[in-house]
Amino acid sequence: MTNTIRLALVLAVSVVALPHAQTTTAAPSATKRHVEMLAGDALEGRLAGSPGEKLAADYLVKELQRIGAKPLPASTDFQMPFDFTAGSKDGGSTITVTREGGAPKAFATRAEVQALSFSDNGEISGPIVFAGYGLVVPDSQNFGYDSYQGLDVKDKIVLVLRYFPEDADQQTRATLARYSDLRYKAQAARQRGAKALVVVTGPRSPNAGEVVPMSFDTALAGSGLVAASASGAVANAIFAATPDKTLEAVQKELDGGNPHVAGFAIPALTVTVKAAVERQRQTGHNVIAYLPATTPTDAIKKPWVVIGAHYDHLGRGSAGGSLATKEQAGQIHHGADDNASGTSAVLAIAETLATQPRKRNLIVAFWSAEELGLIGSNAFVTNPPVPTTEMAAYLNFDMVGRSSDNKLTVQATGTSAIWPKMLEQANIAAGFDLTLQEDPYQPTDVGSFNQASVACLAFFTGAHADYHKPSDTADKINYEDLDRIVTFASGITRRLLDLDDAPSFTKVDQKTESGGGRAGLRIFTGTIPDYATEVKGLLLGGVIGGGPAEQAGLQKGDVIVEIAGQSIANIYDYTYALELLKIGQPAKVIYLRNGERRETTLTPAARK
Ligand SMILES: [Zn+2]
C-alpha cells in the first residue's frame, strides 16, 4: 500500500503484537513458499525498477508458466514494461555573478550549485532580489507573514534563505515551518512573477552554506520556474554588491520572526542561473497472464475477470515511504505482508482455478510501482490490453497476511450492488469475521480500477506495527488464515467467471479524498489526481461522485491549470493552492479539456 492513508491507520490502531494462529495444518501452505521467496533478502525489498524487482518478476513468470497461464492474446511476453520517473540528478547547473563593470564570477561545481529537483531546465539572466526566507503564509491562517511585501520581483531572480527564522518563538516557527518547503517557496516566487529562484542555507542555520542535495522526486514535470540552490560562497559573491550588508547580519535580523523585516533588491548586479535537471526515467514491469475461458460463449457479457496484487515494495527505503526507525534505516524492507502476501494469494487463487472449467477469461496481474503511487496499475488501465468495459470485475489483494482474531476486511463493496450478498454467501463456508467497507477510494491498486469504472473488491487484513518497516518479515505472516483467504476469494472468483450477467458498476459518492498534503486535511475538492502521466498542470484521473469538482462539471481527463488565481504546473502546486481556498467560497478554475481552455467555478467543502 502507498503510505499516505495507511500511516494514519497505523497511528490510529493500537500497535500490539498479536499472537498468530500458528497451529499445524494438515496440508502444506499454498502461500508460504511464495512469501518466503518474495520477502527474502535476495530480492532486496523489490523496489520498482531495481534488480530485485526483476528477480521477483522472473519468479512470478516461472510460477505462471508452471500453472499453465498464458501471455495475453496479442502478446508473447508476461512482462509488460512501463516508464516512470525514479529520481533526479543535476545535469550541470551553473550560476554566474557579474557586478557592473566587473568580471563575471562563475560557479559550476556541485558543491557550489545544484538545481532543485523540481526545477525547469533553462537559463535566466537578470537582476536579483533578496526576499528573506521567501515565506508566504496564506491569509486564511490569519498570521500575517509575507516575505514579498513591498518587493517587486517580476521577471527577476529571487534569492531566499532555506528553512525558516531560527530564533522565533515556537508558535511562529511551527506556523512558518509549514510553508518552508522549497516547493512552496518556489511557487510563491513564481506567483509573483519571478523567473528564477536561488536558495541559500544561511550561515546561522543547520547545514550552513551547503547546497540542498537533489532529493528523490517522482514529479514528472517541472515547477514552471528555474530553481537552484547555491553555496555560501555564491551568496557572498552576491552580497558583495551590498557593502553595508552581510548575509549573516541580514539573517540575524530575520531570525527573530518579525514579519516587518523587509527584503531588498541587490543593486548593480547581474546574475545568470542555469538549471539542468536530469530526470531519471526507469522501467517497471507489470507481470500479466491469463487463464483462457474453457467454455467460452458469445452470450456472456464482459468476458474478462481480473485478479491482482502489487509485488513491488520499498527496497531499502531510499525512495521514500519508509517508516523505518533510525536503527533500521537503510535495511532491506522485506514487505512480507506488503505485499508478498497478496502476490502469493493471487498466485494460489490462479493455481486453484487453473484446473477448473470457466466461461470467462481470468487475467492474473502483478503490479509494480504501487508504492510510488499506483503507477503500474494506472499504466495498465490507461492502456488496457483488453478494454476495461469488457472487464466484469477486479479483485485486489494488498496486505492480507496479518489476519488476527479471524478478521478480514473487504473494501470497495460499494462499487457494485452484487457484492454484499455474494460475499455473505461465500463467507458461510469461510466463516470470517467479515467487515465490509463500501469505499473504493483506497491507497492501493483497487483505486485504479474504480477510476476505470470496473466493479471491484479489495481484500485487506489490517495495518500493523511492522507496516513499511524492515521488520515486515515472512515469519510474521499468518499462513493459515492467508490460505483461508485464498479459498474464500477463489470461490468468489469462480462465481464471477461463470455468472451470466456481469456485475454492474456503481460510482461511489465519497466524502473524503485520498492523498493530499497539508491542505488535504482541511479542504475537500473531490479531485482525484493522476500521478502517472506527464502533463503541465493537474491531470484529473477522476472526480469523486457528489464532490465539489463533479458539481463544477470537471471530469476525468481535464487538466487544471489555474485555481483561485494560482497557476498550477503540477500536483504540488495544486496541493499548495488548496491552502489558499476558503471553505464555501467559490473559486475560479481554469482547465483544459481536449486542449480547449475552459472555465468553471468550484466551491470547496470542509473535509469531514
Ligand atoms: Zn506499501
Q: Average of pLDDT values for 317-330? A: 83
Cα separation, 206 vs 126, whole angstroms: 29
What pLDDT is recorded for position 219?
Answer: 53
User: Residues lining ligand 1 (ion), CB within 5 A?
Assistant: 1, 338, 371
Count Cβ atoms below 10 Å from residue 249 Cβ, excluding itself.
12
Amino acid identity for residue 295 in this structure:
T
Query: Residue 468 C-alpha to ligand 1 middle, in angstroms?
Result: 6
Confidence of residue 25 (pLDDT cuts 50, 70, 90): very low
- CA triple 427-430-434, angle to 5 deg: 50
Task: Quote the ligand 1 centre to 469 CA distance (angstroms).
Answer: 10
| DSSP designation for 43 | G
Q: Is 334 left (phi over 0), alpha (psi -120 to 50) or beta?
A: alpha
How many other β-carbons are positioned within 10 Å of the β-carbon of residue 109? 11
pLDDT, tens digit, for every residue of 36-70?
999 999 999 999 999 999 999 999 999 999 999 99
Res. 463 pLDDT band, cuts 50 70 90: confident
pLDDT for position 171? 76
Tell me the CA–centroid distance for residue 369 and ligand 1, in Å.
Answer: 10
Distance 339 CA to ligand 1 centre (A): 7
State the CB neighbour count (10 A cutoff) for residue 383. Answer: 9
Q: CB neighbours (10 Å) of residue 324?
A: 17
CA of 136 to the centre of ligand 1 (A): 34
Residue 244 CA to ligand 1 center (angstroms) comes to 54
Query: For residues 340 and 401, is the Cβ–Cβ distance under 8 A?
Result: yes
pLDDT given at position 433: 94
Which CA distances in Å does 542 have to 205, 369, 452, 525, 539?
Answer: 42, 20, 9, 12, 9
For Cα atoms 87, 576, 382, give the angle at the middle one, nearest 5 degrees: 55
**Cα gap 134→132, rounded to integer Å:** 5
What is the distance in A from the centroid of ligand 1 to the CA of 362? 25
Place of cell 547555491: 230
Bridge partners (DSSP) of residue 459 are 397, 410
- Give the Å distance between the CA of 553 and the centre of ligand 1: 33
Q: What 3-state class would DSSP assign to 489? A: helix
Could you tell me the distance, in angstroms and rounded to a whole number, from the CA of residue 313 to the centre of ligand 1?
Answer: 6
DSSP string covering 231-242: -HHHHHHHHTT-
Q: From the CA of 444, how far away is ligand 1's center (Å)? A: 8
C-alpha of residue 336 to centroid of ligand 1, in Å: 10
Question: In terms of DSSP H, where are the helices of 39-145?
Answer: 51-66
Checking if the pLDDT of 606 tops 80, the result is: no
pLDDT digits (tens, 9 = 90+) for 514-524: 333 333 445 78
Q: Provide the pLDDT for residue 220.
A: 53
Q: What distance in angstroms lies between residue 1's CA and the mean position of ligand 1's atoms?
A: 3
Query: How far does residue 338's CA lie from ligand 1's centre (Å)?
Result: 5
Residue of 341, 329, 422, 398 whose CA lies nearest to 33 = 341
Contact 288, 76 (CB under 8 A): no
Q: 443 falls in which pLDDT band (50, 70, 90)?
A: confident
DSSP, collapsed to helix, strand or coil, labels residue 183 as: helix
CA of 72 to the centre of ligand 1 (A): 27
Contact (Cβ atoms closer than 8 angstroms) between residue 360 and residue 420: no
85 CA → ligand 1 middle, Å: 18
**The cell 494462529 sits on which residue?**
21
